Amino acid sequence: MSFIKFLLSKAFVKQLLYAVLVLVILTFLLLWWLKFTTNHSQQIEVPDLSKMTLDKVEEILDEADLRYEIMDSANYNPDYPRYSVIEQVPKAGKAVKENRKIYLALNPSGYTKIAVPKVVGRTLRQAEPTLLAVGFKIGKISKRPHISDQVLELRHNGKRVKPGDQIQKTSVIDIIAGDGSLNKVQIMDNE
């Protein structure tokens, strides 16, 4: 019997139809089982957790049969209460299944501390944008008689700060700079 005759034989075609029928029945049963075990039609709407404390979040998610996990804290946002939810994944209003994990980002207790950049010895024109770019606010700018117009010292809450000191971001830094008046006096004396 040749191979082509075997493929066209009644026994082979009959066995092939049985195999296809079994495959269709197994696929139908598998899909029905998946629909039943995965709670396909069940959906829970994710509540809006923004600006809520962790205690309140836990209470609300327990009632909805949802879980939560805290992601890394976000940057401090003054519009939100301390230790409250700033961000959540999935977002509020999305449909999820029972026992789904909601990932939360919490508002820290305050701004992070950052190092004071090295601006002493630079001109006031260079120092101001450097301090602003790092995240500090410029307070009072005082001038002192000096040979140049360089920054002589920095102060925060009346205390002198040095480059590298850790201060909370958005803190106000006062600048004391030279006025260059001693240089002008010296030039006038030479004439």
pLDDT digits (tens, 9 = 90+) for 99-145: 889 999 888 877 788 899 999 999 888 999 999 998 899 999 999 88
The pLDDT value recorded for residue 29 is 95
CA torsion sign, 122 to 125 to 130 to 131? positive
Give me the percent of the chain exceeding a pLDDT of 70.
Answer: 92
What is residue 138's three-state secondary structure?
strand
The pLDDT value recorded for residue 153 is 92
Beta-sheet pairing, 151-156 with 172-178: antiparallel
The pLDDT value recorded for residue 95 is 86
The pLDDT value recorded for residue 39 is 67
If pLDDT is split at 50, 70 and 90, which confidence band does 1 have?
low
CA torsion sign, 106 to 111 to 117 to 123? positive
pLDDT tens-digit map of 25-53: 999 999 988 887 776 677 888 999 988 88
Retrieve residue 191's tokens: 């004439």
> What residue spans define the domains of the chain?
44-106, 113-190
pTM: 0.54
Q: Do domains 44-106 and 113-190 have the same CATH topology?
A: yes
- According to CATH, the topology of domain 44-106 is Trypsin Inhibitor V; Chain A (3.30.10)
Q: What is the CATH number of domain 113-190?
A: 3.30.10.20
Q: What ranges make up the beta strands (E) of the chain?
A: 44-45, 67-70, 85-89, 95-96, 101-106, 113-115, 137-144, 151-156, 159-161, 166-168, 172-178
Retrieve residue 103's tokens: 């990932």
